[in-house]
Structure 1
């Protein structure tokens, strides 16, 4: 497997609309692909951490052995990655295999840039329903998602024990526990409420679990969920800085001992373990005892662009299929602290990775963010994180904030 790095110039997303992409078309030769050899393909992905790269490179090397296809990788800086992909769609210079965030798939699929997996008879038996939904657009399956992530509640076990606090399982218990754990420069609770998809991603479990619906964000159910976050900040149980904290910033606060609980994902395990933080991962609190927790499905998907080179597309399909194999899923999940998306692997994975149980058990019920709205999810997400910002800064009450920022209000 060979490696090629590129520093692409980010192109403003405003320059590329779905309509323009559709008009440009996606057939023709693949200018980015390494030569005309059908057994050599170009795989494009956003640059990740050193560990992620090593784990994926090992899996890709195994897929080279399995498929007989030589894989050349091209790592593009994460910032501006989607803009670069949109530029490639417009200029008809797509790679042979393309990684996307599952939330971005509808936008690219709706342009006609991707080939449906049915063209290549790629099987996805056993995949969780939410994974299939996140990998589909307009009734067609366009991607394979080998591993997934979601979020849960991390608690500092020493802090809770010292305060005599049980792990909260409901919203009322969360507010009580967070208040009791706050003081002396420490906050009881931390989350990311930043004005990006990251803020929406963190809010969705509270929103969905209370009956919120992204097709109509301005409802009493959604407002009640947002009121919970407002109450935590207004009471001093959460810092006002949550408005700008990314999930990485939230983790930094937890590692430093400046918050006793946080909403975050399994990608934080390495830093927590290295710092020696005493922690436990549990399900996020429910609105009321017994309510179902609905969490968002995160992670990347692998797609086959419409390059016009049928032989290379067939080779690319064999690589994508290999990435979704049981062996690849287990290797990627174990190596990257993520979870396999084939529900038949969950029990084995938990047995081998017990610290991931709190996340792996959620896989069958994870919800795809784009399942209901497809490419229009982006507008709903923007409406949600805009309302969060407005409500947490006191600009409006939660329901009014959601009404003001709702798409097509």
Structure 2
């Protein structure tokens, strides 16, 4: 079978989404058996609304109610709904969290949705594995991506800095790029999940492993990762604002030319271009963690049959391409220039040649607060990287089951 990663770079299917008509939503309280409640993260709401409108026009007896979610509240909101049995019909959730719900039996096995119209072979390597357990698929990914290096070429040229290709070069460049007017880099240390993923990429580069969705870490790799992230913050090469911002905040620092480079997604490039700031991308100095977003149908979905039909509509190549700001999970959806053009080249190379799917077991979620605490403690100069890594390893041995 030809590699999915090779096919992704050469996919030639046209992507067109024609949406017309008026938007209307009917609340679940209206009592309509044909209402479908769809939980959508706020960054996808605009296009999701267009897709809902298109589906309603094809199915005039059905109404789609969109409920907006946010990145910070989503895990708690979904977990509470699934545990209580009072659920929507379709949920957009992070792919790496799906198996936690599958283990509890609160989401539907969607394996039977794959076939001629949606072959499993049409999905990018790693995307279906992330949402599968014991041979069954519990969600359908529509987006699959990872971060890469984003930099301001003018600021690097002015400082005489080459694009870094190793982490040692990245740290050295961060120092050299730091001036009285701006810092060299920034980290999303204001949000634990964002910060933990930065740590995880560095840890994997240093010898930690992710296998079959499970993580094992080494103390040496943790110490190195913590020192690169926390140490650059402690030493002043990373923006002081790092301690308060998430991924979007880091991008905004770049847009305001308060930093010269950072690790960010393909979805960051267009907003930066829109504000007129010089931007280029490159493969990061080491591997990055791949993850995505997927459609889940709760086991207690009130309109399970309608939900399946709606998800089938959403996962067509053209609709999948329309909703994602990075890379669609289906190879046949990836022909649009947004995914194949020069702006996307570095992120595509990162995704297909130097990325590792995120841990999908619940143990990683339990460890995230400890990773975050370790990074914060070094960034604030409360302890050194060796001590932070030792404490983290002790907790990891308990939560993950040891190296």
Counterpart contact for 2:234–2:380, Cα < 8 Å:
no
Q: Residue 59 of structure 1 corresponds to which residue in structure 2?
A: 51
Distance verdict in 2 for CA 1:186–1:154, change over 3 Å: same
Say which of 335, 357, 370 aligns to 2:359: 370
Counterpart contact for 1:97–1:316, Cα < 8 Å:
yes
- Structure 2-normalised TM-score? 0.80
Counterpart contact for 1:99–1:300, Cα < 8 Å:
yes
- Asked if 1:169 is matched to 2:169, the reply is no
Mean Cα deviation higher: 167-176 or 118-127: 118-127
CA distance in 2, matches of 1:360, 1:345: 14
Counterpart contact for 2:230–2:376, Cα < 8 Å:
no
Mean Cα deviation higher: 264-273 or 173-182: 264-273
Counterpart contact for 2:126–2:357, Cα < 8 Å:
yes
Q: Is the partner of 1:172 in helix, strand or coil?
A: helix
Deviation at 1:228, TM superposition (A): 2.0
Counterpart contact for 1:100–1:302, Cα < 8 Å:
yes
CA distance in 2, matches of 1:216, 1:396: 24
CA distance in 2, matches of 1:113, 1:342: 25
Q: Residue 289 of structure 2 corresponds to which residue in structure 1?
A: 296
Q: Residue 41 of structure 1 corresponds to which residue in structure 2?
A: 36
Q: Residue 98 of structure 2 corresponds to which residue in structure 1?
A: 105
Say which of 121, 124, 128 aligns to 1:132: 128
Q: Residue 189 of structure 2 corresponds to which residue in structure 1?
A: 193
- Asked if 1:395 is matched to 2:382, the reply is yes
CA distance in 1, matches of 2:218, 2:191: 18
Deviation at 1:259, TM superposition (A): 1.1
Deviation at 1:175, TM superposition (A): 2.2
Deviation at 1:33, TM superposition (A): 8.0
Q: Is the partner of 1:258 in helix, strand or coil?
A: coil
Aligned residues: 365
Q: Is the partner of 1:73 in helix, strand or coil?
A: strand
Q: Residue 272 of structure 1 corresponds to which residue in structure 2?
A: 272
Counterpart contact for 1:146–1:325, Cα < 8 Å:
no
Q: Is the partner of 2:36 in helix, strand or coil?
A: strand
Q: Which runs of 5+ in 2 are unaligned?
A: 1-22
CA distance in 1, matches of 2:30, 2:107: 19
Q: Is the partner of 1:307 in helix, strand or coil?
A: coil
Cα RMSD after superposing both structures: 2.8
Q: Is the partner of 1:83 in helix, strand or coil?
A: helix
Counterpart contact for 1:218–1:399, Cα < 8 Å:
no
Q: Residue 78 of structure 2 corresponds to which residue in structure 1?
A: 85
- Structure 1-normalised TM-score? 0.79
* Structure-to-structure mapping, 1:193-342, within 5 angstroms: 193-194=189-190, 196-213=192-209, 215-286=215-286, 293=287, 295-307=288-300, 312-333=303-324, 337-342=325-330
Counterpart contact for 1:296–1:367, Cα < 8 Å:
yes
- Asked if 1:73 is matched to 2:65, the reply is yes
